Chain A
Amino acid sequence: MAAASSSDYDGCGAESNEANSKWLDAHYDPMANVHTFSACLALADLHGDGEYKLVVGDLGPGGQQPRLKVLKGPLVMTESPLPALPAAAATFLMEQHEPRTPALALASGPCVYVYKNLRPYFKFSLPQLPPNPLEQDLWNQAKEDRIDPLTLKEMLESIRETAEEPLSVQSLRFLQLELSEMEAFVNQHKSNSIKRQTVITTMTTLKKNLADEDAVSCLVLGTENKELLVLDPEAFTILAKMSLPSVPVFLEVSGQFDVEFRLAAACRNGNIYILRRDSKHPKYCIELSAQPVGLIRVHKVLVVGSTQDSLHGFTHKGKKLWTVQMPAAILTMNLLEQHSRGLQAVMAGLANGEVRIYRDKALLNVIHTPDAVTSLCFGRYGREDNTLIMTTRGGGLIIKILKRTAVFVEGGSEVGPPPAQAMKLNVPRKTRLYVDQTLREREAGTAMHRAFQTDLYLLRLRAARAYLQALESSLSPVSATAREPLKLHAVVQGLGPTFKLTLHLQNTSTARPVLGLLVCCLYNEALYSLPRAFFKVPLLVPGLNYPLETFVESLSNKGISDIIKVLVLREGQSAPLLSAHVNMPGSEGLAAA
């Protein structure tokens, strides 16, 4: 019975292993097939029954089939297809009326789909952007057949290069087409009015005029055309519009819309812009050295995760407070807020399968997960206040519940110097032989010095002689002269009786080609036969390696091997520039066997 229970329920076994862990393993399903990221997770009491559900904007296994999933407990409750890939999910209260069930907003493409009670309720589309008047004019001309497709293409291309406003989707599509397809495209689309639409990149909520848990919230949208929009919660009109120098990817808000608020937007250019109420443009700018991967506000500190595997803390005015280095790349970040103890901390899912929890610089807890976590969400789920929901890279779902008695303390063992420092140095031992040698050196030092110097003189003489001889007969495979910088080496391949002899010739000068070279092979004609023992070398371009191949056939049936000399000569000169000696291997042909 005990075996059955532990194998049947994964939480039971894992918990007994980690008796002192702060987390209870409520659920682990590696096959849950949830592929999403932290921005697309939201927890809310969607039916008003006190049972909190998890809303997942699921991208699908290959990012192909976007779906809206609602999870209740460990299981998917409802699932519905989405028209496009979701960018963010948020839940918010639209109005003060009872029952106070929150609406679910899902940003996808240029629209925000609002669901109430899990039924489609409203679709908000971003306002269309004004098209370029020149472009508009061109298409109007096309409509009246006053312009042919080729001219239209040229004109559009010139607009694209010069005008600061980008072209519409229709024009961009037109520019991609082949000549043959243009005519049909213009005829089909000339009557359509050109549209320029943008896409939502990020979304978050901002309390309207009360800081309460159940206050009405506005949606804040970040768009691809570098704007931030604040929407009215009931009428879905635009309350405020702010512009940014770059495309926002992460948003963090605090305060209330009607009173005072601060908006921090992490952008694709690696900067964080901080906006306040009544400021249409960023007030402060934080420049990061790398792209941000997450932006979380903890009390008054903005915590940013960067692609350089580190967390940075900034004040709301953009002053850097601290930096913590992570052991692996940060995949996702989210806020851990424990209301009962008033704790706010940052969770970071790392590529090595850890989830680290930080309060400011202090590491509070590390959770080891079987797979790298790509999305994190902490809050009330089901009926449990402190639930951590994680989804893994492989699509698994992990749910952990924080124990009622768990308290996060900045514990952890003291980290001292690395263990490698305690290792002894690998100094070799000296034996008796060494001591005897030193004794001998002490006694007969003068004689040793003299004898060695004499030998060194002789060695230098012999080396110089041999070198001179090699120079005279051009035996070296690398030419030393500045006039003809060349390099040669020969390779023999094969087992015989036929071998492939490849000469690699290279011009090592910087910018001077070499012309008119010849290669000549000298060999014992009784032992080997070469189809061409003398051939011309093509023009050698500096830097390139020229493999020149010949086939050598071994004639001897006794397995005798010999040396083949390869000489590189200049036309009209008899002295070789350089040469290589190839030691032919013994033939393993039929004759030898």
Chain B
Amino acid sequence: MGLLDRLSVLLGLKKKEVHVLCLGLDNSGKTTIINKLKPSNAQSQNILPTIGFSIEKFKSSSLSFTVFDMSGQGRYRNLWEHYYKEGQAIIFVVDSSDRLRMVVAKEELDTLLNHPDIKHRRIPILFFANKMDLRDAVTSVKVSQLLCLENIKDKPWHICASDAIKGEGLQEGVDWLQENNDSKQDIGRVIFGESDQPKSKDLKVLILEIPRKWLGQMY
């Protein structure tokens, strides 16, 4: 990131860029969710199973998201870990009507959380309990029980019930992601590029950017 970019971010002309990994089993609705988050003129009409992965971009009120939409098919799931380093946030999509494969989703989530690239970073994870419109869908509370989400202690997480075809529940999730992405580490990473530890003198500049409600937590 050049100096000009940094300045434009500070002045609010250009939105901050956040890299998000969109993970989940095949047929859980990852691509549909990403597609629905894009502006209506950029949305594609028919969605096919993702092969390998694709990179999508969308914007929220204050952030610009770059999403790695990964394929969830069994044979592509070993690609996931190659992108863990880039991820500053994770969207994990669960098909809440597929009760049988909830254990598989839990297994994949556990391997994700125990991966060395993820384990010690405090990156936010947003869960979508998708396909809420289906008759045999379980509630988001139940999904969080089945995935044992209460065991995630060191990362901020949030679960939203969603219906990706209608777009219900997606905005709530993105709003949460936006709020939680303003954490200290990630802002440092965005603004200062490569260095993970922001220098204390520069932090003063940062405070301007941080929402008021976070002030108490940071200092």
A383 near B145 (CB under 8 angstroms)? no
B194 within 8 A of A: no
A340 near B74 (CB under 8 angstroms)? yes
B101 near A383 (CB under 8 angstroms)? yes
Return the contact of A5 from the options B74, B77, B78, B146 (Cβ within 8 A). Answer: B146
Bitwise interface map of A from 2 to 26 toward B, beta carbon under 8 Å scored 1, else 0: 1011001101100100000000111
Number of interface residues, chain A, beta carbon within 8 A: 28
A11 near B77 (CB under 8 angstroms)? no
B98 near A4 (CB under 8 angstroms)? no
A24 near B146 (CB under 8 angstroms)? no
B113 CB, min distance to chain A CBs, angstroms: 15
B23 CB, min distance to chain A CBs, angstroms: 13
A49 CB, min distance to chain B CBs, angstroms: 10
A433 within 8 A of B: no
Max chain A Cβ within 10 angstroms of own Cβ: one of B78, B107, B108? B107
> Interface size class for chain B?
20 to 34
* Interfacial residues of chain B within 52-107, with CB under 8 A of chain A in the complex: 74-75, 77-78, 98-104, 106-107
A196 within 8 A of B: no
Bitwise interface map of A from 21 to 46 toward B, beta carbon under 8 Å scored 1, else 0: 00011110000000000000000000
A224 within 8 A of B: no
A1 near B146 (CB under 8 angstroms)? no
B27 within 8 A of A: yes
A405 near B104 (CB under 8 angstroms)? no
A385 within 8 A of B: yes
A26 near B146 (CB under 8 angstroms)? no
Give A297 to B77 CA distance when docked, in angstroms: 31
A50 — which chain B residues lie within 8 A by C-beta?
A: 27
B103 near A405 (CB under 8 angstroms)? no
A103 within 8 A of B: no
B145 near A73 (CB under 8 angstroms)? no
B102 — which chain A residues lie within 8 A by C-beta?
A: 11, 26
Return the contact of A399 from the options B75, B98, B100, B107 (Cβ within 8 A). Answer: B100
* Interfacial residues of chain A within 337-371, with CB under 8 A of chain B in the complex: 340
* Known A27-B100, A74-B100, A405-B111: A2·B150 in contact at CB below 8 Å: yes
A382 near B107 (CB under 8 angstroms)? no
* Known A1-B145, A9-B145, A12-B148: A340·B75 in contact at CB below 8 Å: yes
* Known A1-B145, A405-B111: A74·B75 in contact at CB below 8 Å: no
Give A74 to B77 CA distance when docked, in angstroms: 24
> Which B-chain residue is minimally distant from A382 (CB atoms)?
B100
B145 — which chain A residues lie within 8 A by C-beta?
A: 1, 4-5, 8-9
Give A11 to B100 CA distance when docked, in angstroms: 10
Give A73 to B131 CA distance when docked, in angstroms: 16
Max chain A Cβ within 10 angstroms of own Cβ: one of B78, B99, B111? B99
B114 CB, min distance to chain A CBs, angstroms: 12
- The contact sample of 21 A-B pairs, CB cut-off 8 A, is A2-B150, A5-B148, A8-B145, A12-B146, A12-B148, A15-B103, A24-B104, A24-B107, A26-B101, A27-B99, A27-B100, A50-B27, A73-B99, A75-B136, A383-B25, A383-B98, A384-B74, A401-B104, A403-B107, A404-B104, A405-B111
Residues of chain A at the chain B interface (Cβ within 8 Å)? 1-2, 4-5, 8-9, 11-12, 15, 24-27, 50, 73-75, 340, 381-385, 399, 401, 403-405
Known: A73-B98, A383-B25. 19 other contacts (CB 8 A): A1-B145, A2-B148, A2-B150, A4-B145, A8-B145, A9-B146, A11-B103, A12-B106, A12-B146, A24-B103, A27-B100, A50-B27, A74-B100, A340-B75, A381-B100, A382-B100, A383-B98, A384-B104, A404-B107
